Amino acid sequence: MYCDLHTHSLASDGTETPTEVVRLARRAGLAAVALTDHDTFAGIEEALDAGRKQGIRVIVGAELSLPHDTGSFHLIALGVDPENAEIRDVADRLCDARGPRNRGIVAKLRASGVDITIEEVEAEAGGADQVVARPHIASLLMKKRVVATFQEAFDRYLGRGAEAYVERVRVRLDEAVTATRAAGGVTIVCHPFTLGFRVPGEVPAEEEFVTWCRGVAAQGVDAMEARYGSYSKTQEAFFTQSAERAGLLPSGGSDFHGSIKPAVRIGRGRGRLRVPIAWLDALIERGKSRPDAHPVAH
């Protein structure tokens, strides 16, 4: 029995509805799927409902962006009660900051001579009330033939350090950990290869990385993605072993986004991904076992 603990829907920057994400998970033969949209629980209710109807376990999650000097530090809050005020507050703060950031990016693009408006960007995302993010701007730039590919949009305009990049508001690690624990969940370091450690080949120097992992574990982080949709065998072995050495539980997921990352499938990633359901059970158990956790409703 397998599961997928890292997926995105239309509620953030994925291309499928929460219902479709759940349906694809069931079709892939998974016993459980976590919906972990960026900074929002907006898709959760629909996903839980689809899970009940389709007879598959749906786990509540959100992927939070944290400050990190050298790269991207994403942390999944998993198994949380989405009604918990502390975790909602963290997600709302991150969500609220997206509007000003998107407008900042559009202003920089216009200053670079690109004909684009915030209204067009919002329409691309399905409306101003939707989560509007850089992938929507990227696909708009492709439609306008400003760039040829998604990657080019990020390389030239939207990525860190690129022409129209605007830094985003982030949540501190201690805030994310405290809120997740209060909501009865666990925190998981996502795709650690984006943290920006010096990379000899495709993995960081082991001692430096394990020291970093022990540091976040000491601050209350529970787990790390030992398996991930696009890991090579080398990365999988490295991150599995590093998590173990640092006392972090293993987690895993595809980081499914739908048609914007067509090679990554739910439950399977690029083909070799398998996340045992026992990993999920251990994570849920850890979340429930803490004295500061409130009971999870599902």
Positions that interact with Zn ion (CB under 5 A): 63, 74, 190, 255
DSSP 9-30: -TTTT-SS-HHHHHHHHHHTT-
Six-digit token string for 120 = 């067009």
Crossing angle for the helix pair 18-27 and 44-54, to the nearest 10 degrees: 40
Q: How far is the CB of 234 from Zn ion (least distance, A)?
A: 20
- The dihedral built from the CA positions of residue 122, 127, 133 and 138, taken in this order, carries a sign that is negative
> Whose CB is nearest to Zn ion?
74
By beta-carbon proximity to Zn ion, the closer residue of 109 and 229 is 229
Query: Do 30 and 3 touch, CB atoms closer than 8 A?
Result: yes
Q: How far is the CB of 26 from Zn ion (least distance, A)?
A: 20
By beta-carbon proximity to Zn ion, the closer residue of 114 and 204 is 204
Q: What distance, in Å, lies between the first and last C-alpha atoms of the chain?
A: 20
Q: How far is the CB of 210 from Zn ion (least distance, A)?
A: 21
Closest CA to 186 of 76, 41, 67, 36: 76
Q: How far is the CB of 296 from Zn ion (least distance, A)?
A: 22
Residue owning tokens 């040829």: 148
- The dihedral built from the CA positions of residue 118, 92, 80 and 220, taken in this order, carries a sign that is positive
Q: How far is the CB of 119 from Zn ion (least distance, A)?
A: 27
By beta-carbon proximity to Zn ion, the closer residue of 34 and 210 is 34
By beta-carbon proximity to Zn ion, the closer residue of 59 and 109 is 59
By beta-carbon proximity to Zn ion, the closer residue of 74 and 88 is 74
